[in-house]
Amino acid sequence: MTALPIDTPAVLVDLDIAEKNIRDFQLYCDQHNLRLRPHIKTHKLPALAEYQLGQGAIGITCQKVSEAEAMVEGGEMKDILITYNVIGAEKIARLRALSTRVNLSVVADSARVILGLSAGFADAEHPLPVLIECNTGADRCGVSTPEQAADLAQMVEASPGLQFAGLMTYPPAGGAEKVSQWLSAAIEKIEDRGLKVGIISSGGSPDMWQAHLMPVATEYRIGTYVYNDRSLVERGTCDVSDCALTVLATVVSVPSANRAIIDAGSKVLTSDLLGLEGYGHVVGHDNIVIDQLSEEHGRLVSKQSIDLEVGQQVRIIPNHACVVSNMLDHVILMRGDVIDHKEQVAARGQVW
């Protein structure tokens, strides 16, 4: 690898690859009549959100009010779904402000969340669309049964300032059939009560190429696919050549024949393992394992000779791209090995 004129450690994003990833999955969604609503948590960059919309995405997904604010401030956004229970008067006031600038919708999975949203939007000009979050097996947020989903749908519809808009789930990987049954049962119960289920929103990167196996869903949310990462390579979702985000690091020490130390530690690669061995893939060095991270040191070991020199640059595909792009104030946008420009990660570092 030729050394890049970039101080390390740095987070590099190859725009050619990212844009191809966006186009490829948009094409898949178009072919399967699925509405694509990419999650911007992965890149947190308004420019990439605009590219996603330009290719045909129907809107974006955010996980935090501050992410939505950063997207609206930094780009042309028309439609944002925040897939999170928004709680507290301060955040709901910010939601209300956002709702005057963009088509905004949110989710809820309890009466407490619905009451808070209604209090904030009761006197709003337009009702806030609310989707009921359903636990279809991932055991994170979401109501536990289709019956509860119907109860909350009815409550939303009856709440001042709110409008029932549909169902949202973050499904367990590989669970298409079970998830479809769950959602179909909920739709039936909700329709029995005279309500229409407009949107059925599912998502997740690991199963992205099987999204069409869950025809009950009307839209698909996905984040990691824009950059991809080692976890998706290991699952077979993408190839190494599809990985747009890498960490550029410099070898700062080669203390023994089988060990080298780089200037990228847990404060850039993060400690996310996602079930993998080691903290990333050193591109072009399949024999090397990143077996240990300190805050600013990464330890590279090999059963063979480590074959690295002090001062040499290496590029690392991290285990989990979404958390790495959140670690530094800036990313370096590249086209191949040519530096395009340095860009601030607009939506990182905010409290909420």
Whose Cβ is closer to its own copies: residue 174's or residue 255's?
255
Whose Cβ is closer to its own copies: residue 34's or residue 288's?
288
In the structure encoding, which two tokens stand for residue 16, read together? 């050619």
What minimum distance in Å lies between the beta carbon of 136 and its own copies? 12
CB 229 within 8 A of CB 280: no
Whose Cβ is closer to its own copies: residue 34's or residue 247's?
247
List interacting residues with its own copies (CB under 8 A): 7-10, 41, 63-64, 84-85, 87-88, 90-91, 109-110, 112-113, 116, 135, 139-144, 250, 252-256, 259, 261, 263, 266-267, 270-273, 292, 294-297, 299, 309-311, 322-323, 326-330, 349-352
CB 222 within 8 A of CB 39: yes
> 348 in helix, strand or coil?
coil
> 144 in helix, strand or coil?
coil
What minimum distance in Å lies between the beta carbon of 117 and its own copies? 12
**What is the separation, in whole angstroms, between the first and last Cα of the chain?**
39
Q: Is the dihedral of CA 258, 264, 266, 272 positive or negative?
A: negative
Whose Cβ is closer to its own copies: residue 44's or residue 55's?
44
Whose Cβ is closer to its own copies: residue 71's or residue 143's?
143
Whose Cβ is closer to its own copies: residue 139's or residue 192's?
139
What minimum distance in Å lies between the beta carbon of 39 and its own copies? 10
What minimum distance in Å lies between the beta carbon of 196 and its own copies? 25
Angle, alpha carbons 285-291-297 (nearest 5°)? 90
What minimum distance in Å lies between the beta carbon of 305 and its own copies? 16
Strand order, beta sheet including 199-203: 35-38, 219-222, 199-203, 162-169, 128-134, 103-108, 79-85, 60-62
What minimum distance in Å lies between the beta carbon of 190 and its own copies? 19
What minimum distance in Å lies between the beta carbon of 156 and its own copies? 16
Phi-psi region of 89 (alpha: psi -120 to 50; beta: other; left: phi over 0): alpha
Whose Cβ is closer to its own copies: residue 34's or residue 183's?
183
Nearest C-alpha neighbor of 89 from the set 108, 61, 115, 111: 115
Measured distance CA(336)–CA(352) in Å, rounded: 34
What minimum distance in Å lies between the beta carbon of 316 and its own copies? 15
Measured distance CA(80)–CA(162) in Å, rounded: 16
- For 51, 191, 217, 267, 272, the CA distances from 75, given in Å and listed in that order, are 10, 37, 28, 28, 30
What minimum distance in Å lies between the beta carbon of 110 and its own copies? 5
Whose Cβ is closer to its own copies: residue 12's or residue 200's?
12
One-character DSSP codes across 48-72: HHHHHHHTT---EEESSHHHHHHHH
CB 308 within 8 A of CB 254: yes
Whose Cβ is closer to its own copies: residue 34's or residue 121's?
121
